Amino acid sequence: MSGIVGWIDYRRDLSRAAPVVRAMAATMAARGPDGEGVWTSRHAALGHRRLEVSGYDHVDQPFVFEVDGQVVATAVFSGNLDNLAELRTVLASTGRRLRDGGEAEIVLHGYLEWGRDCVSRMAGVFAFAVWDARARELFLGRDRLGLKPLYYYELPHGILFASEQKALIAHPLVTPELDREGLAELLTYAGTPDHGVLRGFRKLRGGHVAVVRESGVSRSRYWQLSAYHHDTDLAATVERTRELLLDAVRAQSRAAAPTGFLLSGGLDSSVVVGLAAKAGAGTPLRTYTVTFAGYDEQFRPDFVRGTPDGPYVRALVEFVGAEHRDIVLATADLLDPVARTSALRAKDLPSMLGDMNTSLYLLCLAAGDHVKVALSGETADSVFGGNVYGAEETGGTAGRTFPWVRFHEKHAGHHAMGGGLFSRDLLARLDLVEYGADRCQESFAETPQPDDVDPVERRARQDTYLQLTRWADSQLAHSERNAMAAGLDVRMPFADHRLVDYVFNVPWQLKSFDGKGKSLLRAAAEGIVPDTVLNRPKSPFPVSIDPAYQRVLHEELSRVANDPASPAAPLLELATVRERLATPEALAGSWVARTDVEMVLAFDQWLREYGVRLTC
């Protein structure tokens, strides 16, 4: 694990560009706290930040391969290869002389041996770059589902790339700018696969590679979900699903560094822990749960959360005999400016999630005192069809835009996710419903479909694909970025591409055979987790319900609205803000009610800290 950066320029001598690349890499020091490396040449400069979690992470990157004193290629790598040993054996059999250079060495020699097809031989999560000094080309690759981030910014005569946006912003030639389309991305959680939100920023899409030449950048797909008719009965499907899950948990539990598990008490994370116990992945298993002081006593069910996590966590811990730690956060912890700023910087973008960001960051920070790798249950909802908004339909925008936007509209009264306090004129210009509808249609059009599929199954595949390629983008970033900001390598077995591809092709009638949420996963988890956990209704990540937290949000909103220097204030509908300030009780109760305030506060701080220029 780690972070990577690079600068390619065909008209500039980069031999002395080390200070610039080092400054870019330094912005990701939390992602790679164990070391730094920079390599420069005439037209290429690469950088790396290292987090030691495997037996090879002590090896310096960038990894350079020379023949007769001449550089042939240089590589930087972030992530982990599940089949590292297998690839090493195959490459050695071709006559290649390998050192103990870890993944970067394998990627580099794989590229030299197999060309661009090398990426299709890799299993795991990764983002990498190989500078081919002979061809003067840069080769970029990202794992199949895009779990490891990789951003780039095209220059007139080259390119910048990095694991995080903040590293690109640190380059002198980059001015961060948010235009109308970028703001629409933010306020719809569109997750457009190659959109980097800031103008000119792009993501290399999961399952894709890019080649940078002096003539420009070309991108191509090396993997996509398959489409076939599933002809296996329920019992065999359940068994195969369990096997694939067990394989994924076993593979991702392997690490030279201490490994633990982020446990919520919900089905998904509990299944990961239960399978790890079955696989013998450590004795005892180490589990970590975030909660809030007085939470169980103050908890009241609402339309999203029906039960507190505590009883289910304790049931699972006792069931598997885990060594467990509750990370109990006080309201002061959630309001700590250092923690809140760290959570904002982790994702490089403002978010309506507020204390969900801060509490996840603090959970990862606390777990990182004991382990360097943690497995999570993230993405199970997208794979197995268990998101709370999945069945939401409302008048007006029903069926036209993202289901998560429809959910938000129903419960928040508007369709701008976190944008309810923004100017009505601005929202009209953004036309978020139409933007979301267009992005949905793009996703539906590219959904892999087998021949002669019936309309119900066709739509079910479209909905699943939308969640896997759009909604999951924000969820993966939420977990991966917060964890890496705390120096914790988080791994997600439910995002194993073999499992995802298999379940994607299971018909909806088998995925939901008993009418309960995530029926197939529940069937596969029988005997793996306690029955109480197995049958627990879906309950999202917890949030603070302390009125003191809500009062502080109210006070901070007032300061932003009345600050003539606030960069966010000109974008707000001040009459609506004043109404909200006049009714502080509106923030009480449902978390959805305060998402608009959380977004304004995050947006204001983001504009100040990142120096973003608004053109929307």
Model confidence pLDDT, tens digit, residues 490-525: 999 999 999 999 999 999 999 999 988 899 999 999
Helices (H) and strands (E) counted in the chain, each on its own, are: 25, 19
Residue 399 scores a pLDDT above 60: no
Cβ atoms of 349 and 482 within 8 Å: the answer is: no
Which residue spans of the chain are classified as CATH 3.60.20.10?
Answer: 2-179+196-221
SS3 readout for 215-243: CEEEEEECCCCCCCCCCCCHHHHHHHHHH
The total of other beta-carbon atoms located within 10 Å of residue 24's CB is 29
For residue range 219-253, list pLDDT tens digits in order: 999 999 999 999 999 999 999 999 999 999 999 99
Compute, in degrees rounded to 10, the torsion defined by CA atoms 582, 583, 588, 593.
-90
For residue range 341-379, list pLDDT tens digits in order: 999 999 999 999 999 999 999 999 999 999 999 999 999
Cβ atoms of 161 and 130 within 8 Å: the answer is: no
Cβ atoms of 418 and 553 within 8 Å: the answer is: no
Question: What is the Cα–Cα distance from 363 to 328, expressed in whole angstroms?
Answer: 9
Residue 393 scores a pLDDT above 60: no
Average pLDDT, rounded, for the chain: 92
For residue range 376-391, list pLDDT tens digits in order: 999 999 999 877 665 4
Residue 305 scores a pLDDT above 90: no
Cβ atoms of 149 and 478 within 8 Å: the answer is: no
Residue 397 scores a pLDDT above 70: no
For residue range 11-70, list pLDDT tens digits in order: 999 999 999 999 999 999 999 888 899 999 999 999 999 887 765 555 689 999 999 999
Which residue spans of the chain are classified as CATH 3.40.50.620?
Answer: 234-389+473-534
For residue range 432-449, list pLDDT tens digits in order: 999 999 999 999 999 999
Question: What is the Cα–Cα distance from 279 to 282, expressed in whole angstroms?
Answer: 9
Residue showing tokens 């030691």 = 52
Residue 1 scores a pLDDT above 90: no
Instruction: Reply yes or no on domain 234-389+473-534 having CATH 3.40.640.10.
Output: no
Q: What is the pLDDT of residue 396?
A: 42
**Strand 70-81, strand 63-67: pairing:** antiparallel
- Mean pLDDT across 129-150: 97
Which stretch of DSSP H or E encloses residue 290?
strand 286-292
Q: What is the pLDDT of residue 392?
A: 45
- Mean pLDDT across 169-187: 97
For residue range 403-433, list pLDDT tens digits in order: 999 888 888 888 899 999 999 999 999 999 9
Q: What is the pLDDT of residue 52?
A: 75
Judged on CB neighbours under 10 Å (0-12, 13-18, 19+), 72 is middle
Cβ atoms of 539 and 531 within 8 Å: the answer is: no
For residue range 254-293, list pLDDT tens digits in order: 887 889 999 999 999 999 999 999 988 667 899 999 999 9
Q: What is the pLDDT of residue 590?
A: 63
Question: How big is the CA angle at 103 (ends 100 and 108), to the nearest 5 degrees?
Answer: 95
Question: How big is the CA angle at 404 (ends 403 and 406), to the nearest 5 degrees?
Answer: 60
Diameter of the chain measured on Cα atoms: 75
Among 3.90.1150.10, 3.40.50.1100, 3.40.50.2300, 3.60.20.10, name the CATH number for the domain at 2-179+196-221.
3.60.20.10
Share of the chain above pLDDT 90, in %: 80
Q: Residue 535's closest CA among 545, 544, 548, 522? A: 522
Q: What is the pLDDT of residue 394?
A: 37
Question: What is the Cα–Cα distance from 265 to 271, expressed in whole angstroms?
Answer: 10
Share of the chain above pLDDT 70, in %: 95
Phi, psi of 213 (to 5 degrees): -125, 175
**Strand 158-162, strand 2-9: pairing:** antiparallel
- Mean pLDDT across 71-78: 97
Beta bridge partners of 529: 526
Cβ atoms of 141 and 135 within 8 Å: the answer is: no
Residue 6 scores a pLDDT above 70: yes
Beta bridge partners of 291: 328
For residue range 551-600, list pLDDT tens digits in order: 999 999 999 999 999 999 999 999 999 998 988 776 665 677 789 999 99
Q: Residue 78's closest CA among 20, 45, 124? A: 124
Judged on CB neighbours under 10 Å (0-12, 13-18, 19+), 344 is buried
Question: What is the Cα–Cα distance from 475 to 19, expressed in whole angstroms?
Answer: 34
Cβ atoms of 519 and 241 within 8 Å: the answer is: no
Amino acid at 333: D
Q: What is the pLDDT of residue 513?
A: 93
